[in-house]
Structure 1
């Protein structure tokens, strides 16, 4: 769990470095914090579920969706081509898939875990395309 969490936490500064090129350090830093929060909350949710603490898991899941809404709002404010509706759909799908994968793994249903991971990979690539398309439209067209 620790190794996975540490690896995932590297995503936030990686995104920040990219965002810095287009939006400057203040925006990059804010996005890095929002994404770090997203990843930490996910770890809290998994840890609560793993411990069988359904109340703590429910609280973490609510915080996770609130954080997703904050990310969506932030992204739409910096790039009008990242519409709130589309971004929210993507982030919510990401959360649902990630939760389903964690549940499958905790239940030791490794075939389902792998199947969901494949969906997550495809969905992440679609999210990357949406980010790229928004940047292209904002800065190159």
Structure 2
């Protein structure tokens, strides 16, 4: 009997390791497989890195720190990583296009921060306009690639992201440290939500890849 019990336990353990993990939602209607959980986790990491390295760049740029160029290169790598993350679903050309749009997003962000730092309102208005236009182009690109993504929702989410990045820069320029920290924390949570929107849409569009 003891031998039978041990064999049974071993069978259960092996079956658990071999069988794909399925995580049920609260309403038991939606199942998250191992592959879908991995996608959501990976996307969250990428977009958290996006706000993290953007913050580091703002700090380095405003303070003219010697690590500014190194931080910028790491930030730009993140844009390539995000583009690469959609290539398995939409192809390399689409991944490169998203990276290009996101690199432009970072380039304009640097100009916005510099204009704010030097109190050049005309330049700030100019680059802010370009920044929001770029955000709309990102939303247009993603919503065209995936019909489960609503264009208006993406634009609102990206506009809020720009607003929170601006809040950080303005707070640091004015040495309002609690406001700076609050803007970053809010921005991080905001982009986690954004990444989940992207992941959920991909899973819905390509269900065969996440069974």
Deviations 1:33-90 (A, max 9, x none): 0000001101110011111111111100000000011111111110011110110111
**What is the aligned partner in structure 2 of residue 67 from structure 1?**
134
**What is the aligned partner in structure 1 of residue 122 from structure 2?**
55
Residue 6, structure 1, aligned to residue 68, structure 2: no
Aligned partner (choices 171, 175, 184) of residue 117 of structure 1: 184
Residue 78, structure 1, aligned to residue 142, structure 2: no
**What is the aligned partner in structure 2 of residue 16 from structure 1?**
83
Gaps spanning 5+ residues in structure 2: where?
1-60, 62-67
Point out the structure with max Rg over C-alpha: 2
3-state DSSP of counterpart to 1:10: helix
Gaps spanning 5+ residues in structure 1: where?
none
Residue 131, structure 1, aligned to residue 198, structure 2: yes
Quote how far apart the aligned CAs of 1:106 are: 1.2
Partner Cα distance (2:166, 2:74) in 1: 18
Quote how far apart the aligned CAs of 1:17 are: 1.3
Q: Which has the higher helix share?
A: 1
Q: TM-score, normalised by structure 1?
A: 0.95
Q: TM-score, normalised by structure 2?
A: 0.65
> Which protein, 1 or 2, shows the higher relative CO under an 8 Å CA cutoff with sep ≥ 6?
2
